[in-house]
């Protein structure tokens, strides 16, 4: 049976800023010197983040959504191009090999879309397919991975999955809403891409074995991402980790059980670091060792929450530093609006 393998990873990050510096230089005044806001920033697990527009340089909080979308058109194509180019180089392929480009993004919209802009700048083959996945939020990389895997298996051609998120463009006006403070303390910008190739071709990588999705619609108001006149506004309930915690173990056990595995068999965890409590809850519910989510915590610390791109950043970190060996099972997992939990089972080849 033909499968698909992840054979290359590439990332592109805009300039970084220090979490303490941005708190003192902008957000302390933005949130009126709130002690609650300060505690949230200091407890975020983030040391630095990345932004195409840093609030230390330019305050977008009063700008219209139209202005913000123009900035998305300005910055997203270059970051996406850099990430895809790096991923293809990592896989030893060129743009002429690409049969499909899948893009996930929930932080900007334009038509022609980012897929068309990149098809032109990358000089993709004229028959290359394009798929644009929008507004699914932080978990979008994994359903996009499933769709891209289906293409590779059906057509036996390489494909690229790219996630581009520019959350810095959605800085909101001052507020006392703690959920807004949380989102402003966590979110960051990034582009990350992976290359998938038919699994029966020679070479190493991560074979995609299966994916699963679980949505608890009774908690759909716990996490929202709404278009307003002043950009996109995030609402986060403090109950999110507890609700997701109820579903993590059953979802993972169901995914692994189809391959005769249990959580203790997994040698690598690429878990989306939605925040420290999300990681703590996942670690507890799955009875993971203290260092099992070290790569997720490092990505949160060094890059923040980059929405859909984050789980690919963690996967890149895991491949580079995880000490994985052929045959090792790997689980990638992400969470987002719905409330939705998505997971993928991969195997080192």
Structure tokens belonging to residue 325: 């060996």
H-helix or E-strand spanning residue 129: strand 129-134
Burial class (CB in 10 A: 0-12, 13-18, 19+), 33: exposed
d(CA 304, CA 185): 8
Length of the chain measured in residues: 349
Strand order in the sheet with 340-348: 129-134, 100-105, 159-166, 189-198, 4-12, 206-215, 340-348, 329-336, 268-271
d(CA 78, CA 238): 35
Say which of 138, 163, 306, 342 is annotated catalytic: 138
Q: Euclidean distance between the first and final Cα of the chain, in Å? A: 15
Cis ω for the linkage preceding 158 (within 30 of 0) = no
d(CA 293, CA 284): 11
Asked if residue 149 lies in contact with residue 345, where contact means CB atoms within 8 angstroms, the answer is: no
Residue 138 annotated in active site? yes
- The residues carrying an active-site annotation are 138
């Amino acid at each position: 049976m033909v499968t698909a393998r992840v054979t290359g990873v590439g990332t592109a990050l805009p300039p970084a800023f220090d979490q303490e510096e941005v708190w003192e230089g902008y957000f302390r005044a933005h949130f009126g010197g709130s002690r609650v806001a300060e505690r949230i920033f200091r407890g975020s697990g983030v040391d630095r983040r990345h932004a195409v527009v840093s609030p230390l340089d330019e305050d977008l909080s009063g700008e219209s959504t139209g202005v913000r979308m123009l900035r998305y058109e300005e910055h997203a194509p270059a970051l996406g191009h850099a990430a895809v180019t790096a991923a293809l180089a990592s896989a030893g392929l060129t743009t002429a090999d690409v049969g499909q480009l899948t893009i996930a993004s929930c932080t900007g919209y334009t038509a022609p879309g980012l897929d068309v802009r990149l098809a032109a700048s990358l000089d993709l083959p004229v028959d290359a397919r394009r798929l644009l996945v929008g507004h699914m939020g932080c978990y979008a990389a994994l359903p996009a991975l499933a769709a891209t895997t289906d293409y590779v298996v059906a057509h036996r051609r390489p494909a690229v999955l790219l996630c581009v998120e520019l959350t810095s463009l959605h800085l909101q006006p001052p507020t006392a809403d703690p959920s807004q403070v949380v989102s402003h303390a966590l979110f960051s910008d990034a582009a990350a891409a992976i290359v998938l190739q038919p699994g029966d071709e020679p070479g190493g990588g991560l074979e995609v074995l299966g994916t699963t999705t679980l949505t608890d619609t009774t908690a759909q108001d716990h996490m929202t991402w709404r278009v307003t006149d002043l950009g996109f506004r995030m609402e986060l309930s403090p109950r999110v980790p507890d609700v997701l915690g109820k579903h993590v173990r059953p979802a993972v056990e169901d995914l692994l059980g189809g391959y005769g595995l249990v959580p203790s068999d997994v040698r690598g965890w690429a878990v989306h670091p939605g925040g420290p409590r999300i990681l703590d809850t996942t670690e507890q519910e799955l009875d993971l060792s203290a260092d099992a989510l070290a790569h997720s915590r490092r990505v949160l610390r060094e890059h923040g929450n980059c929405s859909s791109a984050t789980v690919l950043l963690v996967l890149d970190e895991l491949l580079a530093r995880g000490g994985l060996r052929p045959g090792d099972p790997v689980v990638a997992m992400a969470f987002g609006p719905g409330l939705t939990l998505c997971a993928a089972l991969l195997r080192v080849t």
